Structure 1
Amino acid sequence: MRWLLRLVIGLMLLAGVYVSLPVAGGVHAETVIERMTSPGPLSTAHAKLEAHCNTCHLSFYRQAQDRQCLACHTGIARDIATQTRWHGLVPKARTQPCSSCHAEHHGSGKPALTVFDRATFHHDTQSAYRLTGAHARTACAACHTSRLYRETPQACAGCHARADVHQGRLQACAGCHTTANWRTVLPFDHDRTRYPLTGAHRTTPCAGCHANQQWHGVSTECVSCHVRKDVHRGADGPKCASCHLTTNWRTVVFDHDSVKAFPLVGAHRAVTCAGCHAKTARPDKAPVACAGCHGKDDVHRGSDGPKCADCHSQATWKVATFDHAKTTFPLVGAHMKVACTGCHTGSVDKVRIGGQCIDCHRKDDVHRASLGPVCERCHKQTSFIIPGIARITAPRPGAATKPGDFPRSGLKP
């Protein structure tokens, strides 16, 4: 038959029958020669090219066959060039002519140009997508829903879009999920973000901060999550970390020593913040003067002025630390044990007391002022009673006295 075909072609050429030659990029109708030399009808996939032979063939140029195939099948051409997917990874597919596997002109009864053998196909070596975990047990049709297997998406969302609780807001699924089990979530390393987790934040569920699946653009300010727990109602500003720790929101670690106007010393260090800062939502600072907090404790009722530190210490409010030696009446002897109110029955600013003994001991004067105000001629500050002398009852003022009324005293009336 070949010799007959060649004879017919030769006769046609001698008779001047036109044989069309292809123009680069052009498509022409099937000629008589092409129709006579065609080995058979095309498959269903290429049926629309039945009348356009030069789409796949160049007349009398068999070596251009593969180039013509790849001109249409650009995806496979890209796989071969990048050595990816089946045509790029398998040497046979990459180097041999397309027709060695894809035979055409067998008619529409053979819709597929090649037979895919699932038994001999190895996904790990013949594709760019290795099957691991549950993927190794998944049926091919579950992922390859299209006839074009190479077009199957490799991104997780291509198959798991319906199971994506993040609704497409996160793309790198492998950062948290594995192929072993979609529901099993790997521990996300938050330290790689701009907000490392510390303290109680490490045990907080993701949704506790990422509400409504918002993963990007989440504020790192404390008030963005803790605004409902802010007892200051925003009056202290957004810098919660200056007082609070992530280990426990209720733990306050404010360094009051950084407040130059009022560093905490003594008993003030054990007082709760609310003890001085009574208002949790406060526009003003706590008072620095003692009377600002101790007004109710002031037994002087403000009469001694605001300088409480002249007498009181911050160790305890009830202990006076006034240095009486700096006054005109230094305390010695029994006077050191006397309570302040024993002498200062009134305000020290309004009620002045004298510096003579009689000013405080007038009721103790058994002499009834008959011996004058200079008590220290006979008495000492260690004890008002003179050792070795019986208690003397002084005569009434104006009564006559005689020698012997003051035995062993050496005093004269």
Structure 2
Amino acid sequence: MRRIWRGIGVALVCSLLLTFFSASAIAAKPKAGPEFDHTQTGFPLTGAHRTARCEGCHERGIFRGTPKDCASCHGNASRLPDATRIPPSHIPVSAGCDSCHRTSAWTPALFDHSSVAGRSCASCHNGTTAAGKPANHIATRQSCDACHRTSAWLPAKFDHNGVAAGSCATCHNGTAAVGKPSNHIPTTQSCDACHRTSAWLPATFNHNGVTAGSCATCHNGTTATGKPSNHLPTTQSCDACHRTTAWLPATFNHSGVTAGSCATCHNGTTATG
């Protein structure tokens, strides 16, 4: 009988010890259920991390000592099955993933160009590492940031300072950059004789050097504005009445008009009657 009670006592002690150690092990292991407050670990779950499986980050059920930096999980050396890896086409970078990426979405990535040295754009924007010049880009040896901004690639604003006067057609040839439209007046002058870099239109033509009496060469209704249909009949040149500073009002030079012939024009139709 004594042996029976002794066996019962040993079994009871073993059961109590087993219960104690099991409870201690559970207490030492963080609760990984939905009710667990992950902010207690110093790594709050945000974005895609909120729906990730616990075992996707905690290998073999080990919670303590899990790294908190991006590269430990998302680096190519990581063995975690659920973590997105850095693709082979990724630009070379030593910055942490969270410099450009967010936990809410891996893409689009926002790169902070604030620490990038000026004029070094092509180091990454070479068409392989990052987007480079398109095939229809104007021929230029200037750095990207001479025209483009990191806040928005387009529209691009070219700084014409330093461009030699009269050399516009080198780029503005219809291929490298916008050139003369098909309805442009025939001219051998450079673009900057009429156009300004601040605005392509309106164009202001410099009539200095134009031979007097040759207005109709351009002002023929096709190349440039010509006589309207209600213009009075005349064989005189435009500049006999009009000025290059303003087309209207026109001032007719009556010198040479035969006395007594006023009504030929001033009949209420051709001119005021």
Q: Classify the TM-score, shorter chain.
A: 0.3 to 0.5
State which structure, 1 or 2, has the greater radius of gyration over its C-alpha atoms: 1
More helix by share: 1
TM-score, structure 2 length as denominator?
0.45
